[in-house]
């Protein structure tokens, strides 16, 4: 799964939601879309969105992803990605996995 963010309006979504190539589905601007990867900075809302998308990624019996996710290739350990979230989510990945990301 490839996830894209619009640098003009902040829209974030799956690449498959883009109906007109290189045009943001929300603001319609051309050329502002950028593929998301693990190197970029994300807001809390964006991290929550990214976590929700990760839920749709198939995981094999060896705890590896069976579909590309945000630039991580097939075969990446799910725990590497959990670690990535753990370093960024205010209450850690445990909160996302077991407490639905409740930050209250």
Distance in angstroms (rounded) separating the CA atoms of residues 102 and 38? 23
State which of residues 1, 2, 8, 48 lies at the interface with Zn ion (CB under 5 A): 8
- Give me the torsion for CA of 55, 58, 60, 64, rounded to 10°: -70
With CB under 5 A as the rule, give the number of residues binding Zn ion: 7
Contact between 30 and Zn ion (CB under 5 A)? Answer: no
Specify the residue, 16 or 104, whose C-beta has the smaller distance to Zn ion. Answer: 16
Of the CA atoms within 13 Å of residue 72, those in its CB half-sphere come to 21
Interacting residues of 74 by C-beta distance below 8 A, sequence separation 6+: 64, 65, 66, 67, 68
Stretch that binds Zn ion, among 10-18, 49-57, 76-84, 85-93 (CB under 5 A): 10-18
Contact between 69 and Zn ion (CB under 5 A)? Answer: no
Specify the residue, 46 or 68, whose C-beta has the smaller distance to Zn ion. Answer: 46
**Which residues of the chain form contacts with Zn ion (CB under 5 A)?**
6, 8-9, 11, 24, 26-27
């Amino acid at each position: 799964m490839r996830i894209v963010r619009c640098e003009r309006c902040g829209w974030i979504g799956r690449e498959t939601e883009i109906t007109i190539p290189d045009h943001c589905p929300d603001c319609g601007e051309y050329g502002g879309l950028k593929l998301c990867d693990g190197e970029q900075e994300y807001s809390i809302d964006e991290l929550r969105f990214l976590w929700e998308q990760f839920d749709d990624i198939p995981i094999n019996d060896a705890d590896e992803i069976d579909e590309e996710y945000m630039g991580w290739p097939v075969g990446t350990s799910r725990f590497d990605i959990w670690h990535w979230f753990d370093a960024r989510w205010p209450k850690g990945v445990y909160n996302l996995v077991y407490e639905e990301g409740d930050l209250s």
